[in-house]
């Protein structure tokens, strides 16, 4: 990105909880400072005026309907740089839990005989539909991570990609290992960058940033098995956020 | 009525959470179509919960909505605890209530200042306010930060909190830190909320003076202004235990919306800050009542636009109760407790009901003997409000035609109406199970 004039930024929401956008409005201390460097030109959740002339598009949410598919193509055509923001957008996240379940059955459970009234697809990460230039992982993304990303992007650097597991973040924080306390934790196979947010609060990592590249899934299965988890519970742990990658892209 | 043709179509209404369209068609003065369409893609949460363990339910349902994540966790945890006979300690309940107070303040400030106020102030967004009234934006951000800091501290983070789990908290706060929060609320937050009240008061005439009698439903608790839990009360009379929520909500599918509609004694009912205030006004804090009186807000108030004011009143109420709660928690001291990591259960069904910023929320889970969910149902406040929004629009549109309002003004009043409900559309299409 050039640094001369203000970068025009747009936010678009697809299928998700919109917590990622909220995370951004919740950076109260930094928000006014950020606005000195960027112009937010399209952000439906917060503003009525909207422009389709932008440099960077942040995408929140999964692609899960035909209208989503059309809208993401339009955004990709117009944007110089597309960023997948949050788990739904980058890895399909919670929305993908239903991947691998019988889709008709899922629809019947919720809408019964009206299930064909609403056009709906299995949820996809954005990069399965259009090219994505960068990713901000997390459910929700850590504001510090978002700020670091924005700083790198605005200063013309390529945003750094984290390729090590949450355990590294946890060790840096000098946390006691939850596994050693008998609490099954997905830290060893989950992409870091969150600062071991959950383990630092004595809560097991549930893998919201997706699997780290080359995760040793079999070893993880064994560890969870030793923790007396049933096969179904182990699969559920993997499928909470990474169902798309464990079910579709094995 | 004068002869009139009108076609209003607001596609993807802005400054609301989620995707919805306002559609109004009037031909020769006759209203042909008038409703709020929900076009958010369905999300199928009830199906996602099937087979999931008791310790995962709140993690998943929290993701129904970022803004209401604290409320979803509370309803979810209460449903799980009721189903599995897990009794939280008094300390746990006190801390949960404090978390709800902080979350409610944050959500109400976000809605009143960032999403609703721009209409009354005649600007397209809070960003545009930065040039016009920098001070207002600055104090809004500051006050929200304070409420969020308390959520961050108690919950590990404000959006999708980490520490609040069935049976307790994974990490407990410290008395010394809580006392600092009390001081910030007293010295900084409450004065800012009064300043907001002044700002909103100066533009109060920009909120339309529309009224429509309807039923207002909210939780009721003998001990306090109900937010965390209670029985189901109605301004049409009667109180029901939370387990009988299906007798109140009566969800049905309508063709123009991926979100279901609800009705109880009339064709529609309203939930949210105004409904709570209409049912439980006498339990508000003294200062909150003073703010309500200043705006002439007394029960039963039937102007849906006053929901914005009711949120402001509740923000003051929650700030005051949060201070009292902190005093109480600190006086008792924090007892080192740990939530259970494993459970033995015979399974069973449990209902959780919580007032989230947008109204009463129900979660209903059935567990098997391995502690996994076999059936789930979630009823979302925004769904409960949709039928009421449609009914309001059906009364409002002919009235606006009668008053010869310009089309852009009509459009603005319709948009403001929907925004006043603070709808959370992502929530509303989560979706609910059909029985």
Question: What does the alpha-carbon distance between residue A55 and residue A57 come to, in Å, rounded to a whole number?
Answer: 7
Domain boundary among A99, A129, A154: A154
Question: What does the alpha-carbon distance between residue A236 and residue A242 come to, in Å, rounded to a whole number?
Answer: 10
Report the DSSP beta bridge partners of residue B23: B9, B35
Q: Is the pLDDT of residue B222 over 70?
A: yes
Please name the residues between 209 and 228 in chain A that touch chain B, using a CB distance below 8 Å.
Answer: none
Q: Kindly indicate the confidence band of residue B18, based on its pLDDT and cuts at 50, 70 and 90.
A: low
Amino acid B434: pLDDT: 28
Residues A115 and A191 in one domain: no
* A25 inside domain: yes
Is the minimum CB–CB distance between A94 and chain B shorter than 8 Å?
Answer: yes
Using CB atoms, which residue from B15, B163, B253 is nearest to A114? B253
Amino acid B298: pLDDT: 95
Across residues A223-246, what is the average pLDDT? 89
C-alpha closest to that of A215 among A172, A246, A247, A182: A246
Q: Does the beta-carbon distance from A140 to B66 stay under 8 Å?
A: yes
* A67 inside domain: yes
Residues A18 and A129 in one domain: yes
* A91 inside domain: yes
Residues A12 and A125 in one domain: yes
Q: Return mean pLDDT, chain B.
A: 89
- CA A10 vs. chain centroid, Å, equals 17
> Which pair of structure tokens corresponds to residue B337?
């407790």
Question: For helices B407-420 and B381-402, what crossing angle results, to 10°?
Answer: 160
Q: How many distinct structural domains can be found in chain A? A: 2
Residues A146 and A37 in one domain: yes
* A125 inside domain: yes
Residues A116 and A26 in one domain: yes
Q: Which one of A32, A47, A232, A243 would you mutate to disrupt binding with B, by most B Cβ within 10 Å of its Cβ?
A: A47
Residues A98 and A134 in one domain: yes
Query: Residue A185 phi/psi, 5° resolution?
Result: -135, 140
Residues A134 and A198 in one domain: no
Q: What is the largest CA-CA distance in chain B?
A: 71
C-alpha closest to that of B235 among B268, B275, B274, B273: B275
CA-to-CA dists, residue B109 to B87, B147, B181, angstroms: 33, 9, 18
- CA A132 vs. chain centroid, Å, equals 13
Q: Which one of A97, A102, A139 would you mutate to disrupt binding with B, by most B Cβ within 10 Å of its Cβ?
A: A97
Question: What does the alpha-carbon distance between residue B88 and residue B180 come to, in Å, rounded to a whole number?
Answer: 26
Q: Does the beta-carbon distance from A94 to B160 stay under 8 Å?
A: no
C-alpha closest to that of B65 among B259, B204, B232: B259
Q: Kindly indicate the confidence band of residue A18, based on its pLDDT and cuts at 50, 70 and 90.
A: confident
Q: Is the pLDDT of residue B28 over 70?
A: yes
User: Where is mean pLDDT largest: A111-120, B170-179, B399-408?
Assistant: B170-179
Question: What does the alpha-carbon distance between residue B66 and residue B321 come to, in Å, rounded to a whole number?
Answer: 24
List CB contacts of A113: < 8 A, sequence separation 6 or more: none
Strands B231-234 and B348-356: unpaired
Using CB atoms, which residue from A111, A117, A201 is nearest to B162? A201
* A177 inside domain: yes
**Is residue A178 within 8 Å of residue A197, measured between CB atoms?**
no
Across residues A64-79, what is the average pLDDT? 92
> Which pair of structure tokens corresponds to residue A233?
């519970």
Peptide bond into B431 cis (omega under 30): yes
Amino acid A115: pLDDT: 67
Is the minimum CB–CB distance between A99 and chain B shorter than 8 Å?
Answer: no
Amino acid B39: pLDDT: 60
Residues A174 and A146 in one domain: no
C-alpha closest to that of A95 among A204, A18, A185: A18
Please name the residues between 63 and 82 in chain B that touch chain A, using a CB distance below 8 Å.
Answer: 63-67, 69
Is the minimum CB–CB distance between A46 and chain B shorter than 8 Å?
Answer: yes
Domain boundary among A125, A154, A183: A154
Residues A150 and A173 in one domain: no
Phi-psi sector, B100: left (phi>0), alpha (psi -120 to 50), beta: alpha
* A102 inside domain: yes
**Residue B112: count of CB within 10 angstroms of its CB:** 24
Which residue in chain A has the smallest CA separation from B173? A201
Residues A115 and A44 in one domain: yes
Q: Does the beta-carbon distance from B14 to A48 stay under 8 Å?
A: yes
Question: What does the alpha-carbon distance between residue A116 and residue B223 come to, in Å, rounded to a whole number?
Answer: 47
Is the minimum CB–CB distance between B252 and chain A shorter than 8 Å?
Answer: no
Helix or strand run (H / E) with residue A145: helix A143-154
Residues A14 and A125 in one domain: yes
Using CB atoms, which residue from A45, A93, A110 is nearest to B42? A110
Amino acid B276: pLDDT: 98
- A208 lies in which domain range? 166-248
Domain boundary among A154, A174, A201: A154
Q: What is the CATH number of the domain that holds A127?
A: 3.40.50.700
* A160 inside domain: no
Helix or strand run (H / E) with residue B183: helix B175-184
* A2 inside domain: no
Write down the ipTM of this complex: 0.90
**Residue A95: count of CB within 10 angstroms of its CB:** 32
Q: Could you identify the residue written with the tokens 């004011």?
A: B309
Residues A31 and A67 in one domain: yes
Which SS3 state, helix, strand or coil, does residue B276 take? helix
């Amino acid at each position: 990105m050039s640094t001369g004039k203000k970068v025009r930024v747009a936010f678009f929401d697809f299928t998700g909880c919109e917590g990622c956008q909220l995370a951004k409005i919740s950076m109260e201390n930094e928000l006014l400072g950020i606005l000195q460097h960027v112009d937010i030109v399209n952000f439906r959740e917060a503003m009525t005026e909207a422009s389709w002339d932008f440099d960077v598009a942040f995408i929140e949410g999964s692609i899960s309907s035909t209208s989503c598919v059309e809208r993401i193509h339009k955004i990709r055509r117009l944007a110089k740089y597309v960023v997948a923001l949050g788990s739904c957008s980058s890895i399909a996240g919670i929305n993908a839990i239903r991947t691998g379940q019988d889709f008709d059955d899922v629809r019947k459970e919720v809408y019964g005989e009206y299930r064909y009234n609403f056009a709906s697809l299995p949820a996809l990460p954005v990069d399965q539909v259009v090219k994505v230039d960068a990713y901000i992982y997390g459910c929700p993304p850590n504001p510090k991570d978002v700020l670091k990303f924005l700083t790198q992007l605005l200063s013309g650097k390529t945003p750094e990609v984290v390729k090590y597991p949450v355990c590294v973040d946890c060790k840096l924080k000098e946390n006691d290992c939850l596994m050693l306390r008998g609490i099954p934790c997905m830290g060893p196979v989950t992409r870091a960058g969150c600062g071991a947010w959950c383990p630092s609060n004595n809560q097991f990592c549930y893998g919201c940033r997706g699997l780290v590249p080359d995760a040793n899934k079999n070893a993880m299965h064994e560890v969870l098995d030793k923790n007396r988890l049933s096969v179904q519970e182990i699969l559920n742990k993997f499928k909470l956020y990474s169902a798309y990658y464990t079910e579709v892209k094995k | 009525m004068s002869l009139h043709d009108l076609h209003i179509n607001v596609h993807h209404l802005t400054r609301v959470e989620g995707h919805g369209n306002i559609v109004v068609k009037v031909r020769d003065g006759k209203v042909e179509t008038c409703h709020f369409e929900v076009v958010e893609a369905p999300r199928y949460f009830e199906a996602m919960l099937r087979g999931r363990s008791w310790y995962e339910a709140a993690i998943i349902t929290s993701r129904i909505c970022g803004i209401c994540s604290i409320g979803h966790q509370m309803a979810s945890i209460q449903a799980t605890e009721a189903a599995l006979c897990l009794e939280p300690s008094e300390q746990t309940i006190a801390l949960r209530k404090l978390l709800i107070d902080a979350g409610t303040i944050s959500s109400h400030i976000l809605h009143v200042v960032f999403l609703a106020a721009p209409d009354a102030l005649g600007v397209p967004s809070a960003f545009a306010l930065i040039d016009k009234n920098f001070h207002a934006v600055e104090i809004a951000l500051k006050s929200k930060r304070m409420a969020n800091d308390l959520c961050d501290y108690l919950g590990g983070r404000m959006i999708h909190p980490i520490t609040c789990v069935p049976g307790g908290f994974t990490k407990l706060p410290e008395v010394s830190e809580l006392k600092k929060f009390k001081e910030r609320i007293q010295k900084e937050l409450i004065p800012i909320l009064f300043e907001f009240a002044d700002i909103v008061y100066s533009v109060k005439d920009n909120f339309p003076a529309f009224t429509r009698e309807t039923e207002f439903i909210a939780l009721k608790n003998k001990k306090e202004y109900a937010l965390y839990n209670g029985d189901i009360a109605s301004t049409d009379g009667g109180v029901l235990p939370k387990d009988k929520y299906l007798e109140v909500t009566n969800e049905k599918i309508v063709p123009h919306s991926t979100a279901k509609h609800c009705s109880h004694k009339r064709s529609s009912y309203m939930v949210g800050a105004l409904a709570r205030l209409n049912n439980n006004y006498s339990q508000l804090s003294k200062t909150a009542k003073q703010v309500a009186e200043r705006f002439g807000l007394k029960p039963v108030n039937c102007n849906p636009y006053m929901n914005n004011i009711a949120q402001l009143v509740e923000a003051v109420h929650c700030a005051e109760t949060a201070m009292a709660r902190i005093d109480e928690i600190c006086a008792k001291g924090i007892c080192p407790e740990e939530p259970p990591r494993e459970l033995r259960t015979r399974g069973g069904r449990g209902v959780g009901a919580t007032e989230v910023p947008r109204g009463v929320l129900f979660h209903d889970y059935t567990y098997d003997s391995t502690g996994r969910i076999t059936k789930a149902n979630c009823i979302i406040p925004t769904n409960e409000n949709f039928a009421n929004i449609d009914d309001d629009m059906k009364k409002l549109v002919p009235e606006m035609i009668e008053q010869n309002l310009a089309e852009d003004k009509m459009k603005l009043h319709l948009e403001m109406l929907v925004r006043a409900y603070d709808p959370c559309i992502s929530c509303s299409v989560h979706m609910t199970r059909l029985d």
